[in-house]
Amino acid sequence: MFQKIKLSTVLLFSLLCAVGFAIPMTYFIYSANYQDTWWLFVGNFLFMIGIIIYMLLFTSRKNENPNTNLLLTAGHIVTVGGVILSCIIAFIVLMMFPTGIVSAGPAEQVMENTPAHADDGKTDGLVLFVYLTAIIGNVSAGSAVAIFMAYTTKKNQTKEKVISQVKVDTNLRS
């Protein structure tokens, strides 16, 4: 018996998680101040909330009791999709603001109040901090939540059978 992961739902929640991360990230890039780095972690938290909502909706589907392995797989697929979209959005936002990361010469916007260990590149670590939190922070938050939610939201784990195959439904119409 095939158990399905709907691609349209995965793409929707990946996008929602990425946008949740992108809103505080945009403010951090706009302010370009090391003391506002905490906005990136607010973005990681919003990314994590998006994964939690997806996992809760995935486990509450009608007439289904998804397998734990399927829950783990679905949560990690949304996490990877969200991280890829977060990096793409980060690149777009970095191109919108005058950071000067692709132009020759000194950067137009550098991060202020940066400690000595964070002075990296033309933007004094601005791009480094954005991509480190977009990749490492979101992967950590999403994977942790996917693992926790797969085991805590499963209704009945005692009668679980090993799944033979997982089928990804590529039909974008729900």
Distance CA 169, CA 8 (A): 8
Q: Identify the pLDDT of residue 23.
A: 96
Of residues 37 and 100, the one with the higher pLDDT is: 37
Question: Where on the phi/psi map is residue 2: left (φ > 0), alpha (ψ -120 to 50), or beta?
Answer: beta
Query: So where are the chain's domains?
Result: 3-155
Residues 6+ apart with CB under 8 A from 63: none
Residue 164 has pLDDT above 60, yes or no: no
Q: Would you state the structure tokens that stand for residue 99, as one six-digit string?
A: 């950071």
What percent of the chain has a predicted confidence (pLDDT) above 90?
Answer: 41
Rounded CA separation 14/36 (Å) = 25
- What's the angle, vertex CA 9, arms to CA 147 and CA 83, rounded to 5? 55
Q: Is the pTM of this model over 0.85?
A: no
Q: Residue 123, SS3?
A: coil
Q: Which two tokens stand for residue 126?
A: 């601005």
- First and final C-alpha spacing in the chain: 20
| Confidence check: pLDDT of 17 > 60 | yes
Average pLDDT of the chain? 81
User: Which pLDDT value is given to residue 116?
Assistant: 65
- Could you give the C-alpha distances from 28 to 31, 83, 102, 116, 138, in angstroms and in order? 5, 18, 19, 19, 16
pLDDT digits 0-9 by tens, 18-60: 999 999 999 998 887 888 889 999 999 999 999 999 999 888 8
Cα-based distances in Å from 65 to 37, 135, 154, 155: 41, 31, 8, 7
